[in-house]
Amino acid sequence: MYTGILNQYQDLYGFAEDYPVVSLHEGNTPLIPALRLANCLGVEGLKVYLKYEGLNPTGSFKDRGMTYAVSQAKFDGAETVVCASTGNTSAACAAYATRARLKSLVIIPEGKIALGKLSQALMYGASIIEIAGNFDQALNIVRMLGERDKRLAVVNSINPYRILGQQSGAWEICDALGKAPDQFFIPVGNAGNITAYWAGFKKYHDLGKISQLPVMMGYQAEGAAPIVRGHAVEHPETVATAIRIGNPASWQGATDARDQSGGHIDLVTDADILGAYSCLARHEGVFCEPASAASVAGLMKACAEGRVKPHSTVVCILTGNGLKDPDNAVLVGTKEVARVSLPADESAICEYLGV
Ligand code: AN7
C-alpha cells in the first residue's frame, strides 16, 4: 500500500525506524500527458506532461513539505506549528497539525485568500490571524514569533524539512519518465518549490538515477515579479493570490536553480495566467488554480520565444487544485460557456435548444 512520500523514499530521507511520520498519504500524483496543449504550441515533436499536484490530500503540493516539517515538529516536541500563508500552506499546516495532535496558528493577508483555502484552515481547526497586510509582512511576523517562543515551530519553507519533503516531486517525475524532463516549468512565489525541485533533481543525478539535469524555467506573475525585476516588490498584486509575494524567502535558491541549470525566470501577465488556466480546464480536462497555470503560461511564452527545442520533453507543475479558488473559476468560466436561466418548463428548454 502507498503510504506517503516519507515512507516511499525513506532510503533517501534516512530517518530512523521510530521516527513519528505524520502523513495523509500525500504524493504519488499523476503525470498527465497534455496532447492538445502540445499540439497547439508550434514546437515539433514536443511532449508535454502536467504534474497534477492538486490531487494531494489538501489539494496542493504543500503537503509534500508539510508531512516532513510537521513530523519533525512532533519529533522535536513542539506544541504549535505556525506559518504565514497565501492560503495553501495554511491549509496543509492545519491538516497535518491536526493529524499530529498539535495546535496550528496561521497568519494570512485579510481578504486575499482564495475561498477554498480559507474554508480548509477553518475546518481543520487552525487558529487564524488575518492581518491588514501582505504575505511578506505575515512571514516577517512568523519569523519573529519562532525566535521568541521555542514552543512554536515555523513550518514555512524557511524550514529545511519543507524543502526536503518537496524534493519528492522531482523524484516521482524521474521515476515516471525514466529520466529527467529536458525542461521543467514551475510557478514561483516564495521560491521554495523551485529550490526544492532543483535540489531533488540534483540528488537523483548525484545518485546516478538520472544522467541529465533539466533546464529550470520559473514564472512569476507580472505584478509580483521581484526576481525578474531584481528588487523586492512592496505591494505585489496578481489575480493568482497564491503567488502574490514581493520578497521571496528562497530568492537565492531560485536564482541558483536558474543559473546552475542554464534556465530562465520570467514573468507572465494575469491575462496569460487566466488564459492558460482556462485552456487547461477546457482542452485538457485538468482544473488547477490560477497560480498553478503560471507554469503553462510560461511554457506558452517560452515556446513563442523559441526557448523550447523540437522533440523535447517538458513537465509543467500544476501546484494546486482548481477547486481552491471557486470565485475565480466562476468569473472566468461564466465568460466562456453558455449559461442561462430558464423556467422549469419542457417547451422552454426545447425551444432554447432547438430540439
Ligand atoms: C498553488 O501557501 O506561498 O514558490 O503560503 O500555493 O514555493 O512559494 C503558496 C505558494 C505556487 C508558489 N502555486 O510556490 C502559501 C504559498 C501555488 C501556491 C506557489 C504557491 P513557492
- 259-273 confidence digits (pLDDT tens): 999 999 999 999 999
> Exposed (0-12), middle (13-18) or buried (19+): which is 77, by Cβ within 10 Å?
exposed
- Ligand 1: which residue has its CA nearest to atom 12? 189
- Strand segments, DSSP code E, in 242-354 are 264-268, 313-318
φ/ψ (deg, to 5) at 154:
-80, 125
Residue 103 pLDDT > 90, yes or no?
yes
Burial 233-253 (b: 16+ CB within 10 A, else e): beebebbbbbbbbbbbbbbeb
Listed residue (200, 218, 220, 219) closest to 210, CA to CA = 200
The amino acid at residue 153 is A
Residue 336 pLDDT > 90, yes or no?
no
Ligand 1 touching residue 241 (CB < 6 A): no
Residue 338 pLDDT > 90, yes or no?
no
pLDDT at 138: 98
Ligand 1 touching residue 134 (CB < 6 A): no
110 neighbors 130 (Cβ within 8 angstroms): yes
Q: How many residues does the chain have?
A: 355
How far apart are alpha carbons 298 and 318 in whole angstroms? Answer: 12
Ligand 1 touching residue 220 (CB < 6 A): no
How far apart are alpha carbons 107 and 130 in whole angstroms? Answer: 6
Q: Which ligand 1 atom is at minimum distance from the Cα of 192?
A: 7
How far apart are alpha carbons 185 and 50 in whole angstroms? Answer: 10
- Ligand 1: which residue has its CA nearest to atom 10? 242
**Strands 31-33 and 47-52, bridge-based pairing:** antiparallel
Reading the block at residue 328, the C-alpha cell is 475565480
**Distance, CA 189 to ligand 1 centroid (Å)?**
5
Ligand 1 touching residue 191 (CB < 6 A): yes
Q: Which ligand 1 atom is at minimum distance from the Cα of 92?
A: 2
Q: Indicate the angle between helix axes 115-124 and 88-99, nearest 10 degrees.
A: 20
Which residues, 6 or more positions from 251, have their beta carbon under 8 angstroms from its beta carbon?
A: 191, 226, 227
How far apart are alpha carbons 324 and 88 in whole angstroms? Answer: 9
- The model scores a pTM over 0.95: yes
Ligand 1 touching residue 290 (CB < 6 A): no
How far apart are alpha carbons 346 and 176 in whole angstroms? Answer: 50
- Ligand 1: which residue has its CA nearest to atom 8? 190
Mean pLDDT, rounded, for 113-119: 98
Name the one residue in this structure whose C-alpha cell is 500552506.
89
Ligand 1 touching residue 138 (CB < 6 A): no
Q: Which ligand 1 atom is at minimum distance from the Cα of 324?
A: 1
Mean pLDDT, rounded, for 231-252: 98
105 three-state secondary structure: strand
Ligand 1 touching residue 98 (CB < 6 A): no
Ligand 1 touching residue 169 (CB < 6 A): no
Ligand 1 touching residue 89 (CB < 6 A): yes
How far apart are alpha carbons 119 and 129 in whole angstroms? Answer: 14
Q: Model confidence over 125-144: pLDDT tens digits?
A: 999 999 999 999 999 999 99
In DSSP terms, 105 is beta-bridged to: 82, 127
| Mean pLDDT, the chain, integer | 98
Ligand 1 touching residue 292 (CB < 6 A): yes
